[in-house]
Amino acid sequence: MRIRGLRKRYGDVDAVDGVDLDIPRGEVFALLGPNGAGKSTTVEILEGHRRRTGGEVAVLGADPGRPTRRWRARIGIVSQTSEERPQLTVRETVRHYAGYYPAPRDPDEVIKAVGLTEKAGARLSRLSGGQRRRVDVALGIVGDPELLFLDEPTTGFDPDARRQFWKLIESLAGDGTTILLTTHYLDEAEALADRVGVIARGRLVEVGTPRELGGRATAKAHVSWTGPEGPQTLETHSPTQVVAELSQKFDGEVPELTVTRPTLEDTYLTMIGAAR
């Protein structure tokens, strides 16, 4: 995927303002940003669902502004909302959607891949929210896409369902599927993405690995402990040395010792705050 100078303008407002981005095949890329930052607009342009005002875009080597049926068969989309036919069973729904593609995956294999084999004969109306979301993913991958768009895929999931969903995405990535993920869960981006990009006010602020974004890898650590004078905190690039010195000073265990570095959430909030 190659994006150069992407723009989308609504009246006097630039929803997307000159975005440049490359996403190689096989990568899991997370696009992060607050509501109204241009995130959804960017993704919809890449999916071929929204026209751009300017710039150049190539998705799987083609311009999504002029989508063909053959090109659409190469991508999968899991949007925030889905069109459901509650009277159909899981198997009927997946088989129905498989008929839209020239070379779909076996529907029963897809149902197994999303962990719904035991629910294959159940009607959609009788599934839990997490199970229905798995159906959404099944419909997104039944066409055997080269590129999968995931828009807030785990919204409303309980913690266990989210972890199970992550395993599914890791499996798809392991099979070589390129994945573009949007999420408000920073731990999700850190767990799944090879790289993340932060967008704010229509502009891409920074792109990097979750570990390195915003200088996280080289940021000072906060070493905190409780001493005779009460709680103490020290910022340092050498936390191991500080802990060793404290251990000697306290003759072993250091009271209430913690060592922390900026989380991805800390870094993200700083970046979008600076962009406002």
Q: Give a yes or no: residue 265 inside a domain.
A: no
Per the rule left: phi > 0, alpha: psi between -120 and 50, beta: everything else, 136 is alpha
Poorest-confidence range of 126-130, 206-210, 244-248? 126-130
* Same domain membership, residue 152 and residue 246: no
What pLDDT, on a 0 to 100 scale, did the predictor assign at position 128?
85
Rounded to the nearest 5 percent, the helix, strand and coil shares of the chain are: 35, 30, 35
Q: Give a yes or no: residue 177 inside a domain.
A: yes
* Same domain membership, residue 247 and residue 192: no
74 pLDDT above the threshold of 70? yes
* Same domain membership, residue 245 and residue 110: no
The number of folded domains in the chain is 2
* Same domain membership, residue 122 and residue 168: yes
* Same domain membership, residue 177 and residue 161: yes
How does pLDDT run across 77-100, given as a tens digit for each residue?
A: 998 776 668 889 999 999 999 999
Domain that holds residue 252: 220-260
225-229 average pLDDT score: 90
How does pLDDT run across 8-18, given as a tens digit for each residue?
A: 999 999 999 99
What pLDDT, on a 0 to 100 scale, did the predictor assign at position 274?
63
